[in-house]
Structure formats: C-alpha cells, structure tokens
Amino acid sequence: MLVVPARLHRWPPEVQDLFGREGPLVLEIGFGDGRFTAELARSRPDWLVLGAEVSAASVLRALRRMRREGLTNVRLYHGQGPFALRNLVLPGTLDQVIVNFPDPWPKKRHQERRLLREAFFRRLSTRLKPGGSLLLTTDHEEYFRFALEEAERTGLYRVEVRPPPEAHLRTKYALKWKEAGRAFFHAAFIKLREDPAPWPPLRRYDVAHALLSGELPQDLALEKTAVRLKEGVAVFLEVARGKEGFYVLTHVEEEDLTQDLLLEVRKSARGVYAGVSRFGSPLITEAVKGAVRALVDRLEAHGLEVVQDHT
C-alpha cells in the first residue's frame, strides 16, 4: 500500500499499521514529483516517510518513481497536508515535517491561504515529538519572514535560520529557481512546548440520508446554489434527472478537505430517499451531512415530510 486511502478504518492509524514497522516518522507536505521524497527515503532507509500532495498528476508521477526505485519506506497521500497531519498522524509521534517551496500566496488578500500561519504551527505542535521540527526551504523572502513571525508568535518553537541543506536544493522548483539566480532561505522550527488546545481527528459518520413521505417533485432547481454550513460550504453544481429520481453533483469544502460527490433523491420502498450516493466513496463528515440536510430542506419546501432523519 504505497498510496494511503482516506477511508482508513481507523484515524489516525498506528505507525506499524501504516508502514508495517516502527521507525522515525517524517511528513513531507507538497512532495511534487517525489524526487526529494525518494532521495530522502533512499538516504535514510530507517525513516518512515509520509508524503501529502494535492496534485493527482504529481501523486501518480511520485508513485511511479517509488515503485521504479523499489522504495518501501514511503507512503503517499493525495490530499492536503494539514488533513494528513490531523488524521494520519497520532499525537506526539512525528519526528519531522518538511516543507519545500510552498505556495507563497503573495497577494495580501490571499495570505490566509498560506500554510505556515500561527494556527498551523499551534496544531503542528500537538503532532510533533518533543524536540521534533519543521524544516522550511523557500525562495520567497517575504513568506519566509512571515513564517518566522507566525511561529515565534506561538511561543512554542525555537527558530534557527540555517543555510539550506543541499538535498533540499535538488527539488524540481529549487533547480528551476537556482537556474534563474534566485536566493534561498531555510529555517528549522524546533518544538519546545505543546499547544494546550486539542486537535482531534475529523469526525466521520456511516450514513447521511433521510427518508421522506410525498411525491418526487417534477423539478429540482438547484444548479449553482451555494449553501453556507457551520463546518464550511456546499455548492449544488448540477442536477440530472434519472429514471428513479435526481442526481445532484455537489461540491463540499470544509477545513483541510474538499470533496465532489453525488447526492441522490429517488423513490424507495418506504418513500423518498435523499442522501449520499455510494459513487466515489466520499467521506461522510459534518459538512457532507450539512449538504444533505440542505437538500432535504429543499424537498420539504416542495411539500415532502421527513419521516426518518440521519442528517
């Protein structure tokens, strides 16, 4: 199992269950094509390297690289780094986090999208071992200074500015920026203390559906409808009519997790079913339940009545 499925039976998994053995655990956020990941895994075969990457194409390239090189101490996760940190890493078990050339989001209005903000550093402290560290390498000086300030604001880290290790300058972007003559910046954020606020894994549910009495409406005008949820936002993108009812393509965004899923409204033996389709095996989270609840509200507006609610 080189690629970690999001639908693990247990969150977070034991290191032994994820890798088949014990060892120092390292998380790389944004591994790109995996060349640094592979070099790290080769040079430190005793380490266990968990990588997180949002680009599906990059995950595929990295997966091929790991298989080609026969590396067994690497696990890849397709998704956001904070999600992996929260749900795939047990508290106090992480030796190191590596972030090479993160997106700096240079525009002022986009800075809340930056990874290395105070809230992230606080949550990271709950997963690092005492003395564990985050290593940052970047070519963006303003973001580098921003990250230093955000970490220092927590009072949880000792920050050491160092020359970048050579291995960190052999990534795809490092080679590109080196050729362009850019300067590089590197720092180690070493955990001294832990934030007292708990950061439990994301809660998951088995089902998200409702049964209603009444007749299926002739039409569901939901396209491009955005619904604000307590946990995030849901957008009903498209509605398709089938033989038994409606299929609603839905985009759900919540903290560190984005999913596109199908909701369905169809006739059943006990009335009208409204809930999550099994297609794609989405994670049933609070936000997904909220999206189903919003769909049920629309059906109630059409005169249907809820007789069983699992939203």
Q: In this predicted model, what pLDDT tens digit does every residue of 223-244 receive, in sequence order?
A: 788 999 998 999 999 999 988 8
What burial class does residue 163 get, using C-beta atoms within 10 Å of its C-beta: 0-12 exposed, 13-18 middle, 19+ buried?
A: exposed
Residue 107 labeled ligand binder: yes
Kind plus residue range of the DSSP H or E element containing 120: helix 118-124
Higher pLDDT, 40 or 3: 40
pTM, to two decimals: 0.90
28 is in an annotated binding site: yes
Instruction: Check whether 9 has a pLDDT greater than 80.
Output: no
| Residue 23 pLDDT exceeds 70 | yes
Tokens of 125: 């402290």
* For the chain, percent of residues with pLDDT exceeding 90: 78
Nearest CA among 107, 131, 136 for reference residue 120: 136
Is 95 marked as binding a ligand?
no
pLDDT at 67: 96
**Residue 1 pLDDT > 70, yes or no?**
no
- When pLDDT is cut at 50, 70 and 90, the band that residue 10 belongs to is confident
- E strand residue ranges, the chain: 25-29, 48-53, 74-78, 94-100, 128-138, 157-162, 185-191, 209-213, 225-228, 232-241, 245-254, 257-268, 271-276, 305-310
Q: Quote the CA–CA distance of 289 and 284 in Å, as a whole number.
A: 7
The pLDDT tens digits for 266-281 are: 998 889 999 998 887 8
Residues acting as catalytic residues: 103
The CA distance from 119 to 106, in Å, is 19
The tens digit of pLDDT for each residue in 156-188 reads 999 999 999 988 888 877 777 777 778 899 999
pLDDT at position 239 is: 93
Identify the three-state secondary structure at position 290. Answer: helix
**Is 206 part of any known ligand binding site?**
no
